[in-house]
Amino acid sequence: MANLILASSSPRRRELLQQLGLDFSIYSPDIDESVFENETVEDYVKRLAETKAKSVLVRYPTVNILAADTSVAIDAKIIGKPESKQHAFEIWSLLSGRKHEVFTGICVANHEKIISRVVCTQVEFQKLSHNDMEDYWATGEPLGKAGAYALQGIAAQYIPRIEGSYSNVVGLPLHETVQLLKAVKALN
């Protein structure tokens, strides 16, 4: 087993972490991802990342654990994954022609230290027509994606600008992740 475990089943997080050339294993914990009453988006993603990391650390106490959770928010409201075509259209109608925020909570934990951070990136969506939404839904890409889109995929054509970390929107802000790994001495 590697000295680093990614506490996530996300293929996007795995690909991003591989870009750094790190050797790691994967173990995805099963945790309750319900939002607490009056919980801010920042607190929500940080809590989930920390809960995932601590859960895996109990199982593997001698290694470094990296966990993350990403949520899309607009008007301080968490926008989840689409449950249906109608739900995806509702999400896109809300995002259409506006800026929204993507928050990722990152947590790195080992037997000595647990540290976490929240990264925020602003994403601007163009005004979407009904045909845009129909065409995008037909690709299948929106399924299982927070905010019902994938910046690294077909949806890029609808996004004229982002402010902040591109990799954060994909699911793991790499710069900040490396800084946390160094802080717990998981990297030199």
In DSSP terms, 120 is beta-bridged to 103
Q: Residue 80 has what pLDDT?
A: 87
Is 71 a member of any domain? yes
Count Cβ atoms below 10 Å from residue 74 Cβ, excluding itself: 18
Measured in degrees and rounded to the nearest 5, phi and psi for residue 109 equal -140, 145
Residue 144 or 134, more confident: 134
- Does the pLDDT of residue 57 top 60, yes or no? yes
Please, is 175 exposed, middle or buried when counting C-beta atoms within 10 Å of its C-beta (0-12, 13-18, 19+)? exposed
Is 84 a member of any domain? yes
Is 128 a member of any domain? yes
For the chain, give the percent of residues with pLDDT over 90: 91
The tens digit of pLDDT for each residue in 114-134 reads: 999 999 999 999 999 999 999
Is 162 a member of any domain? yes
- Which domain range does residue 107 map to? 4-183
- Does the pLDDT of residue 164 top 80, yes or no? yes
Please, is 140 exposed, middle or buried when counting C-beta atoms within 10 Å of its C-beta (0-12, 13-18, 19+)? exposed
Which of 159, 161, 160 is closest to 149 using CA atoms?
A: 159
For range 134-143, the mean pLDDT: 96
- Give residue 143's pLDDT band: very low, low, confident or very high (50, 70, 90): very high
Q: Which of the following is catalytic: 32, 69, 132, 135? A: 69
If you average pLDDT over every residue of the chain, what do you get? Answer: 94
Is 97 a member of any domain? yes
Regarding pTM above 0.85, the answer is yes
Q: What is the CATH number of the domain that holds 104?
A: 3.90.950.10
Active site residue 132: no
Q: What is the DSSP string of 12-79?
A: HHHHHHHHTT---EE-------PPPTT--HHHHHHHHHHHHHHHHHHH-TTSEEEEEEEEEEETTEEE
Q: Residue 6 has what pLDDT?
A: 97
- Does the pLDDT of residue 188 top 80, yes or no? no
Is 188 a member of any domain? no
Q: Residue 105 has what pLDDT?
A: 98
- Give residue 1's pLDDT band: very low, low, confident or very high (50, 70, 90): low
Is 43 a member of any domain? yes
Structure tokens at 162: 């982002």
The tens digit of pLDDT for each residue in 65-101 reads: 999 999 999 998 999 899 999 999 999 999 999 999 9
Q: Distance (Å, rounded) from C-alpha 139 to C-alpha 149?
A: 11
The tens digit of pLDDT for each residue in 31-56 reads: 999 999 999 999 999 999 999 999 99
Q: How far apart are the first and last CA of the chain?
A: 19
Q: Distance (Å, rounded) from C-alpha 154 to C-alpha 165?
A: 19
- Give residue 185's pLDDT band: very low, low, confident or very high (50, 70, 90): confident
Instruction: List Cβ neighbours of 115 (8 Å cut-off, separation of 6 or more).
Output: 107, 108, 109, 180, 183, 184
Number of domains in the chain: 1
